[in-house]
């Protein structure tokens, strides 16, 4: 069976196809940007670099301090080890001790020079009187037989001077011991409970009972001063 050709049907089909094509294009145009441009949710994010948590600020290292308590040291070997730690390896402490020693020696020299000047002045007084008496005799003038100062007077004057020096030097020694105690120097920072009143030596080099006599302490302090002078030489 043949169907007659109808041009209006062709126009209708073309319109229908044209409408479908336009709808497909519009749907593609609306969907294409979403496929090409990534939304923030769809866009792949770069992994962030893993950072280590910030470290808490560390305190600067404290200088190592000796664990030995100088107030309990009564032996020379222990004192030697302690001093080599706190003095031999510490320039600032050496400077302080050097200043103390220099000050003491300077005062001692000054006191001795002043004493010698006093002795010379005493001698010159007698010599000047003798010269003056000789001049007076040469011209026949009367001479005063009274001496300006006797030997006893000169001695008393020297004794007074020596007593003043002793008093001042004792104060200086006390100040020096206080400074050395503050620097934790053995035998100067020793506890008084470890010093016995007896003058009898301890059993083994002053160490038998862990205590020392006053005489032993003085000797140990003198020995320590000699060591400090050697360690702190300029």
- The pLDDT tens digits of the residues spanning 128-154 come to 777 776 777 677 767 666 666 678 888
What's the rounded Cα separation, in Å, for the pair 206 and 197? 13
User: Does residue 54 fall inside a structural domain?
Assistant: no
Residue 179 maps to a domain:
yes
- Asked whether residue 58 is domain-assigned, the answer is no
CA distance 83 to 227: 9
pLDDT value, residue 143: 64
Residue range 163-187, pLDDT digits in tens: 999 999 999 999 999 999 999 999 9
| Residue-level pLDDT at 123 | 83
| pLDDT at residue 60, rounded to an integer | 41
Would 141 be classed as within a structural domain? yes
Number of domains in the chain: 1
Give CA–CA dist 157/165, Å, rounded. Answer: 13
For CA atoms 129, 131, 135, 140, the dihedral sign is positive
Q: For the chain, what percent of residues have pLDDT higher than 90? A: 34
The pLDDT of residue 207: 42
Between CA 224 and CA 83 the distance in angstroms is 9
Tens of pLDDT, residues 202-213: 444 444 458 889
- Residue 147 falls within a domain, yes or no? yes
What tokens does 22 get?
């336009």
Note whether residue 190 is domain-resident: yes
Mode of pairing for the β-strands spanning 195-196 and 212-213: parallel
Are the beta carbons of 73 and 212 closer than 8 angstroms? no
Residue 22, pLDDT score: 59
- Asked if the structure places residue 48 within a domain, the reply is no
Residue 61 confidence (pLDDT): 38
Q: Which of 165, 178, 161 is nearest to 109 (CA)?
A: 165
Residue 175, domain member (yes or no): yes
* Gap between the Cα atoms of 60 and 159, Å rounded: 58
State residue 28's pLDDT score: 52
Phi, psi of 213 (to 5 degrees): -85, 170
Residue 173 belongs to domain spanning: 71-231
**What b-and-e string marks burial along 106-126, b requiring 16 or more CB atoms within 10 Å of the CB?**
eeeeebeeeeeebeeebeeee
Residue segments in the chain with a per-residue pLDDT below the cut of 70 = 1-68, 133, 137, 141, 143-149, 198-209, 234
Across the strands, what pairs with 212?
195
Which pLDDT score is estimated for 115? 94
């Amino acid at each position: 069976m043949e169907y007659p050709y109808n041009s209006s049907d062709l126009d209708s089909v073309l319109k229908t196809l044209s409408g479908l094509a336009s709808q497909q294009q519009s749907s593609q145009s609306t969907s294409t940007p979403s496929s090409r441009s990534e939304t923030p949710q769809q866009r792949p994010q770069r992994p962030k670099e893993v950072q280590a948590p910030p470290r808490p600020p560390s305190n600067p290292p404290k200088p190592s301090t000796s664990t030995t308590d100088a107030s309990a040291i009564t032996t020379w070997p222990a004192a030697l080890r302690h001093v080599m730690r706190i003095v031999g390896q510490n320039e600032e402490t050496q400077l302080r001790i050097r200043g103390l020693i220099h000050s003491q020696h300077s005062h001692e020299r000054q006191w001795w020079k002043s004493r010698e000047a006093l002795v010379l002045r005493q001698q010159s007084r007698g010599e000047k009187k003798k010269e003056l008496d000789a001049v007076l005799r040469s011209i026949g003038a009367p001479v005063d037989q009274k001496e300006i100062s006797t030997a006893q007077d000169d001695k008393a004057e020297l004794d007074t001077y020596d007593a003043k020096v002793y008093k001042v030097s004792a104060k200086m020694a006390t100040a020096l011991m206080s400074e050395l105690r503050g620097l934790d120097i053995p035998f100067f920072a020793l506890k008084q409970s470890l010093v016995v009143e007896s003058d009898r030596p301890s059993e083994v080099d002053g160490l038998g009972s862990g205590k020392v006599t006053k005489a032993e302490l003085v000797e140990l302090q003198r020995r320590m001063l000699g060591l400090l002078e050697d360690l702190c030489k300029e």
